[in-house]
């Protein structure tokens, strides 16, 4: 009975408006696809794509091994399908949000980006923080705390103290009118090591990360798609995924 229900839900999902090509994906010329084997896998593969002259996705470079949330993935709050097709992202759940998200700005310990970088850059200082306090009006914002007249948060990531943030990029998940408790501070950054998952970010070797960051171009509206294989299979055709 459960198998029949699951199959029915998948059919309804593929017939719904959710399956129309998301506007961010349709407008993008650069795609960073991060795909895991299932909802609970914390290992994934990153593959870059760009649009060719026929507006088709063309593979760029070799696949890159990445680590994602320690508990796998979950539908992003603004991109979810049916709750029965996978968990929903929540603050502190150790899952990477599934969906399509704008990439940027880049950030790092350096005062200036590398000359080969072509995206907006946010230099990290000792007052840079990403607020993860669900009670704060600054929830899910990467900011300079020195410029906030009345800080109201009790917790947040002090960016400059995290070695993995030597280079990285913000993922614009839950950024527009943030839903409190739906997850915060999702980044692409340097990993602690192979087989060492994150709390929800996408992480990789530093050299591979720099390859990705130097390739990104804000004029091409790059997007990140995080998705487990079962959801990818259902959406590949309707979203015209590579």
Q: Each residue of 175-204: pLDDT tens digit?
A: 988 999 999 999 999 999 999 999 999 999
* Entry field: residues in the chain: 242
Other beta carbons within 10 Å of 169: 26
List pLDDT tens digits, range 24-77. Answer: 999 999 999 999 999 999 999 999 999 998 889 999 999 999 999 999 999 998
Distance CA 25, CA 223 (A): 7
Look-up of token digits 């390859």: 211
Q: With bands split at pLDDT 50, 70 and 90, how would you rate the model's confidence at 108? A: very high
DSSP secondary structure code for residue 8 in this structure: H
pLDDT given at position 54: 86
Least confident of 14-18, 226-230, 233-237: 14-18
Degrees, nearest 5: CA angle 132-136-140: 40
Assign 129 to helix, strand or coil: strand
- Mean pLDDT for the chain? 91
Look-up of token digits 């290992």: 43
- How crowded is the C-beta side of 136, counted as CA atoms within 13 Å? 20
Q: With bands split at pLDDT 50, 70 and 90, how would you rate the model's confidence at 86? A: confident
Other beta carbons within 10 Å of 138: 19
Assign 25 to helix, strand or coil: helix
pLDDT given at position 212: 98
Report whether pLDDT(10) > 80: no
CA 141 to chain centre: 15
pLDDT given at position 19: 58
Distance CA 162, CA 106 (A): 15
Report whether pLDDT(100) > 70: yes
pLDDT given at position 151: 95
Six-digit token string for 229 = 């294989």
Six-digit token string for 236 = 């590949």
DSSP 102-161: EEEEEEESSSS--TT-BS-EEE--TTEEEE--TTSTTTT-EEEGGG-SS---S-EEEGGG
pLDDT given at position 77: 87
Distance CA 98, CA 111 (A): 32
Look-up of token digits 């979950």: 74
Distance CA 108, CA 20 (A): 36
List pLDDT tens digits, range 111-145. Answer: 999 999 999 999 999 999 999 999 999 999 999 99
What are the sequence ranges of the domains in the chain? Answer: 2-235
């Amino acid at each position: 009975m459960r198998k029949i229900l699951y199959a029915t839900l998948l059919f309804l999902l593929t017939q719904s408006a959710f399956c129309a090509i998301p506007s961010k994906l349709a407008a993008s010329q650069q795609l960073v696809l991060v795909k895991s084997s299932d909802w609970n896998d914390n290992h994934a593969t990153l593959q870059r794509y760009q649009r060719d002259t026929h507006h088709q996705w063309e593979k760029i470079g070799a696949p890159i091994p990445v680590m994602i949330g320690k508990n796998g993935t979950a539908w992003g709050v603004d991109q979810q399908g049916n709750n029965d097709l996978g968990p929903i992202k929540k603050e502190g759940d150790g899952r990477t949000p599934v969906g399509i998200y704008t990439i940027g700005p880049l950030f790092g310990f350096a005062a200036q980006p590398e000359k080969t970088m072509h995206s907006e850059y946010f230099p990290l200082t000792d007052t840079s923080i990403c607020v993860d306090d669900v009670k704060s009006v600054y929830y899910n914002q990467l900011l300079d705390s020195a410029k906030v007249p009345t800080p109201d948060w009790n917790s947040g990531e002090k960016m400059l103290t995290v070695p993995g943030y030597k280079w990285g990029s913000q993922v614009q998940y839950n950024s527009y009118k943030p839903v409190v408790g739906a997850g915060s501070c999702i980044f692409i950054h340097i990993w602690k090591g192979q087989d060492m998952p994150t709390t929800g970010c996408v992480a990789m070797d530093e050299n591979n990360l720099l390859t990705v960051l130097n390739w990104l171009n804000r004029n091409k509206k790059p997007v990140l798609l995080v998705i487990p294989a079962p959801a990818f299979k259902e959406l590949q055709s309707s979203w015209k995924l590579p």
